[in-house]
Chains A and B, each alone.
Chain A
């Protein structure tokens, strides 16, 4: 099976812009979780989607949003980018939300 794919792999944006990141889960996986990784805060949970529904959300401002499509592909959007949003954004898919999560390679976002 193909692994989790994320596009784009790298992004450079300026403050105030918005960005959309995409994640394609492993075929058959319906749960998709998103994480932000920074040197200062480590890996932090953003949100989880299952069957097009957001079931859980981490402690991030409303500028961070996401959605999931009927084919389980997911997107996350960050509006009004801030310098502190520079991070590696990781998407993970799993068969069951409480089981092993399989991570994609990540999207590295740099906000200037």
Chain B
């Protein structure tokens, strides 16, 4: 089963616009991570935000985390054609014997940026 759910499932924007996608999850987490995947290739790590953090920035990326609502958002500013990809949120649960090394992924948001 998938822990996170991304919203929207698909997003089509023009270069220069901002892209925002949301992720909701169900259980207590240690951290939440965002990944990008281009055309069925491997996942590229974008950013990790810990459960005690509320916002984090990395270049054109801004991630927020609201643990009370069990939700996170990823904002990509000034998007480029090269940002076209699928974006996944993944949660790492508070460590227990059944959470070691296990990231639980959402279904992803497919982003298309047109020039």
Count contacts on B: residues with CB < 8 A to the other chain: 28
Give, as a whole number of angstroms, the nearest-CB distance from A72 to chain B. Answer: 13
Task: Say yes or no: is B114 at the interface (Cβ < 8 Å to chain A).
Answer: no
**B42 adjacent to A98 (CB under 8 Å):** no
Given known pairs A42-B2, A43-B88, A98-B31, the reply for A103 and B42 (CB within 8 Å) is yes
B31-59 vs A, Cβ < 8 Å mask (1 yes, 0 no): 10101000011111100100000000000
With A33-B102, A42-B105 in contact, do A101 and B45 touch (Cβ < 8 Å)? yes
List the one stretch of B13-21, B64-72, B92-100 in contact with chain A.
Answer: B92-100
With contacts A42-B107, A105-B42 taken as known, whether A99 is within 8 angstroms of B101 at the C-beta atoms is no
CB pair A103–B101 under 8 Å, yes or no, is no
Q: Is the CB of A42 within 8 A of B108?
A: yes
Closest to A33 in B: B101
B88 and A104 form a contact (CB under 8 A): no
User: CB of A94 within 8 A of chain B?
Assistant: yes
Q: State how many angstroms separate the Cβ of A89 from the closest Cβ of chain B.
A: 11
Q: Is the CB of B101 within 8 A of A31?
A: yes
A99 near B45 with CB under 8 A, answer no
A90 to B103, CA, bound (A): 12
9 contacts between A and B (CB under 8 A): A31-B101, A32-B101, A35-B105, A48-B101, A56-B97, A56-B101, A98-B100, A99-B92, A101-B45
B residues lining the A interface (CB < 8 Å): 2, 30-31, 33, 35, 40-45, 48, 88, 90, 92, 95, 97-108
- Besides A55-B97, A90-B42, A94-B101, 15 other CB < 8 A contacts? A4-B42, A31-B100, A35-B105, A37-B40, A42-B2, A42-B105, A42-B106, A42-B108, A45-B104, A58-B102, A90-B43, A92-B43, A98-B92, A105-B41, A106-B41
